[in-house]
Amino acid sequence: MFVAWRDLRFAKGRFALMGSVVVLVTLLVGLLSGLTAGLARENVSAVTGLPASHVAFAAPPGQQEVSFTRSRVTEEAWRVWRDAPGVRSADPLGIRTADAAAGERTAAVSVFGVEPGGPLAPAAGGGPGPGRVVLTERAAEELGGLTAGSRLAIGPLELTVAAVAGTAAYSHTPVVWADLDDWQRLGSPGSGSDAASGATAATVIAVDATDGADLAAADRAAGTETQTVADALGAIGSYRSENGSLQLMRGFLFAISALVTGAFFTVWTIQRSGDVAVLKALGASTPYLLRDALGQAVVMLALGTGLGTALAAGLGALISGGDVPFVLDAGTVLVPAAVMIVLGALGAALSIRRITAVDPLTALGSAR
């Protein structure tokens, strides 16, 4: 990188201009990544935090995709799963969104109905039980700072707060952990009379299965469709559309970064093709020149991305403590930076490959 380093210093205006574009794109990608992760956390953390490997949905009719909103599993299905070979545990989980009220305060919450004392139930304050719920911190805060022993109402139910613990959220609402029987009295979403008929035991079944478990056989017997927890997140409608849009934006930013870097180095390589011809005539090998040019691109990308990432981390730290859902960790800071450098280097590599086509013969007789 003997010549490349000196080119960087000599043409510092041009490289600073390009570097600032990389800084801004990295800043945007970093903020978007943190926001995407923050929104995702508010959408799915209650599901990803379940002590389960799979989620069994009621098999949808036709070719429809499974959905937390439409799924209703029966007690019979749950018993089939509980007794299936290779299944360590299978527990019914009821999910519905409801309005909770405490005094004059109301808040939208997601009521997660679990079996008291079961593996899905939080242990804090003895966990949920008949007439007792465990609130997440945000639910307690939004309801006016409830604490253990406070009273609240969800639909027709009058409940007592057993404990305030955790940060689980589902579909952008804080979770309230309730007794499954209480949850059933709320009724399944959209069903109205299911609770009365007793047909619906829960929304899904949280399954913890060994690697060798025959999930397909259990699905056939129980009339369910099972997915891993990670795949099951796609069954949360708001998560799928929101995450898809944000990831698309992130993808476009990565593509723009690679294209802009590639365009810059295309122009730069054309501008210095005379220098390249001279160096080739003097004996520089093509691999040497390619390494030199790619090294130059990586240095610029690393500096620009480093600065952009630092700015994104700083801004993220400022806003992550407030109301904006923002996650600041290695996954949202370092991974986008690494992708920016790799894609930018790829764009640059495609541009500087024209070095191979420069004819050293043009250095003879050329005026420079």
Partner 1 sequence: MTLLVHDATLTYPDGEGRLTALDAVALEVPAGTLTAVVGPSGSGKSSLLAVAATLVTPDCGRVVVAGRDTARLTPAEKSALRREEIGIVFQQPNLLPSLTAAEQLLAMAHLSGRPPRALRRRALELLDAVGLADKADKRPHELSGGQRQRVNIARALMNEPSVLLVDEPTSALDHERGAAVLDLLAALTRERSTATVLVTHDRTHLERADRTAVMADGRLTEPLPAA
Name the CA dihedral angle for 286, 290, 296, 301, rounded to a multiple of 10 degrees: 170
363 part of the interface to partner 1, by CB under 8 A:
yes
Closest of 281, 252, 219, 233 to residue 80, by C-alpha: 219
Binding part of the chain for partner 1, among 17-25, 81-89, 116-124, 360-368 by CB under 8 A, reads: 360-368
Using rule CB under 8 A, residue 364 touches partner 1: yes
What CA–CA distance (Å, rounded) separates 290 from 318? 41
Is residue 16 a contact point for partner 1 (CB under 8 A)? no
Task: Note whether 2 binds partner 1 by CB under 8 A.
Answer: yes
- Least spacing, CB of residue 22 vs partner 1, in Å: 21
Element spanning 190, H or E: none
* Nearest-angstrom CA–CA distance, 110 and 99: 8
Nearer to partner 1, 245 or 271 (CB): 271
Q: Which of residues 161-190 bind partner 1 (CB under 8 A)?
A: none
The DSSP secondary-structure symbol of 140 reads H
Site size with partner 1, rule: CB under 8 A: 26
What character string, x for contact with partner 1 (CB under 8 A) and - otherwise, covers 109-148? Answer: ----------------------------------------
Q: Is the CB of 69 or the CB of 273 nearer to partner 1?
A: 273
Strands 132-135 and 157-164: parallel
Contact 109, 97 (CB under 8 A): yes
Closest CA to 77 of 48, 56, 105, 52: 56
**6 near partner 1 (CB under 8 A):** yes
- CB within 8 Å of 154: residues ≥ 6 apart: 98, 99, 100, 101, 109, 111, 133, 176, 178, 186
Question: Closer CB to partner 1, residue 126 or residue 360?
Answer: 360
Cβ 259 vs Cβ 22: under 8 Å? no
CB of 270 to partner 1, least distance (A): 15
The least CB distance from residue 5 to partner 1, in Å, is 9
Closest to partner 1 by CB, 11 vs 101, is: 11
Is residue 11 a contact point for partner 1 (CB under 8 A)? yes
Secondary structure of 144-168 in HEC code, one letter for each residue: CCCCCCCEEEECCEEEEEEEECCCC
| 356 lines the binding site for partner 1 (CB under 8 A) | no
8 Å CB contact between 187 and 159: no
> Which of the stretches 1-9, 97-105, 135-143, 157-165 binds partner 1 when contact is defined by CB under 8 A?
1-9
Q: Which residues of 214-227 are buried (b: 16+ CB within 10 A; e: fewer)?
A: ebeebbeebebbbb
| Interaction between residue 367 and partner 1 (CB under 8 A) | yes
Neighbours of 35 (CB within 10 A): 21
Handedness of CA 216, 219, 221, 223 (dihedral sign): negative
As measured in angstroms, the least distance from the Cβ of 9 to partner 1 is 7
Q: Closest separation between CB of residue 300 and partner 1, Å? A: 15
Q: What's the closest the beta carbon of residue 364 comes to partner 1, in angstroms?
A: 6
Q: Is the dihedral of CA 325, 163, 53, 73 positive or negative?
A: negative
Q: ∠ at Cα 44 (204, 146), nearest 5°?
A: 95
Span of 3-11, 162-170, 239-247, 252-260 interacting with partner 1 by CB under 8 A: 3-11
Residue 365 is a binding residue for partner 1 (CB under 8 A): yes
Residue 366: CB minimum distance to partner 1, A: 6
Cβ distance to partner 1 smaller for residue 171 or 296: 296
User: Which residues 265-324 are close enough to bind partner 1 by CB under 8 A?
Assistant: 274-275, 278-285, 288
Residues of this chain that interact with partner 1 (CB under 8 A) are 2-3, 6-7, 9-11, 274-275, 278-285, 288, 360-361, 363-368
